[in-house]
Amino acid sequence: MSARRGAAGAALLRMAVVGAGVAARYHAQAIAESAGARLVAVARADGSRAGETEAAFGVPCETSYESLLRRADVDAVCICTPSGQHAAQAIAAARAGKHVLVEKPMALTLADADAMIAAAREAGVRLGVAFQRRTEPAYASLRNALQAGELGRAVLAIVALPYVRTQAYYDDAPWRGTWAQDGGGVLMNQGIHLVDLLVWLLGDVLEVEARAATVDHRIEVEDVLAATLSFAGGALGTIAATTCAAPGFPHRVEVYGTRGGMQVEGDGVVADRAGASATGISATGHARLVADFVAAVREGREPLVSGEEGRRALAVVLAVYESARTGRPARPG
């Protein structure tokens, strides 16, 4: 597949964004900030808003996903559509020879995630998942400390996600808050980012126990959830998540070991092993993630968050839902 050359002679990855919502705008901005990529098209199903979309993104708008995939000037697609559409769109893109960066969650079932991974492998294209928090320096610092043994043996992880979403947020898009297209509530839609951090930091989860409820919204899925996790390395963890905590608070990730711990609030370290405070870090995760994805395509390597890595967080989320539904412990698939 051909690509336009940049000023330094390196091939530019010509990218398209599928969708036109908030996530799509983040991806478009990240592509604009990546020296190795260029946005060449966007796809939106609502043809009546094509002109508006072209003006907003500054590139042609295709109103058919199939026509977007037929474009010879598209090397890769960023899929930013409702979660229930991710799997079919990613598989179609891979079969069309396009590299794929898909928003979280990568799919709503493990079978679909596996099909996406297989399609990318068979087509020889890269599949990445948008878990951009892995790129944030605070979490990279925490992971480095764990891997270097600076915290000793990890024993406890605590995740708190006290967000707020109004009823208007759910009413604004009919797919939000539904099992069929959202795949879940606060854990699948918002908390999966922090689930990904947990498996990235502490490794595989062996078993979960959970309770979930819908207490303050007119939606099918949960707006409050509490879970405990047992990690393969022996550590235990907790997740407490809600979209009912007005006016909304920063998420928090805490990891403690036999020699110390670290607390991260939002995207900044608030306390390290000595209890020192630190300033916050700007939220440029999507830009870093896209830059890594572009480099992965160019270098023929897996991206920072490959399809297999994206599947790990999905497996934990689905096990949490199974436990909440059955009232029994569950194991990630």
pLDDT, tens digit, 9 for 90 and up, residues 246-278: 999 999 999 999 999 999 998 777 766 544 333
Strand order in the sheet with 76-79: 61-62, 37-43, 13-18, 76-79, 99-102, 127-129
Mean pLDDT of 289-297: 97
Is the pLDDT at 50 greater than 50, yes or no? yes
Contact call for residues 214 and 221 (beta carbons, < 8 A): yes
Question: What is the reported pLDDT for 275?
Answer: 42
Laid out side by side, the sheet with 268-271 consists of 205-213, 224-231, 236-242, 154-162, 252-257, 260-265, 268-271
Rounded to 5°, the CA angle 85-88-89 comes to 75
Three-point CA angle 319, 201, 253, nearest 5°: 85
- 62-73 pLDDT, tens per residue? 999 999 999 999
Output the pLDDT for position 272: 66
Domain ranges of the chain: 13-132+287-304, 134-281+314-326
Residue 316 has pLDDT above 90, yes or no: yes
Residues 6+ away with beta carbon under 8 Å from 171: none
Is the pTM higher than 0.75? The answer reads yes
pLDDT digits (tens, 9 = 90+) for 71-108: 999 999 999 999 999 999 999 999 999 999 999 999 99
104 is catalytic: yes
What is the rounded average pLDDT of the residues 304-315?
98
Query: What's the N-to-C CA distance of the chain in angstroms?
Result: 36
Average pLDDT taken over every residue of the chain: 93
- CATH of region 134-281+314-326: 3.30.360.10
Q: Centre a 10 Å sphere on the Cβ of residue 81 and count the other Cβ atoms it contains.
A: 24
pLDDT in tens, 5-26: 444 446 899 999 999 999 999 9
Taking each continuous run of H as one helix and of E as one strand, the counts in the chain are 10, 13
Model pLDDT, residue 281: 33
Q: Is pLDDT at 187 greater than 80 in this prediction?
A: yes
Q: Which fold has domain 13-132+287-304?
A: Rossmann fold (3.40.50)
As given in the structure block, the two tokens for residue 85 are: 């559409």
Phi, psi dihedral angles at 150 (to 5 degrees): -70, -25
- How much is the average pLDDT of 191-208? 98
Rg for the chain (alpha carbons), in Å?
20
Q: What percentage of the chain carries pLDDT values higher than 90?
A: 90
Q: Which of 99, 104, 165, 288 is catalytic?
A: 104
Backbone phi, then psi, for 244, in 5-degree steps?
-115, 5
Q: How far apart are CA 64 and CA 155, in angstroms?
A: 50
* Predicted confidence (pLDDT) per residue in 104-156, tens digit: 999 999 999 999 999 999 999 999 999 999 999 999 999 999 999 999 999 99
Query: What is the model's pLDDT at position 9?
Result: 45
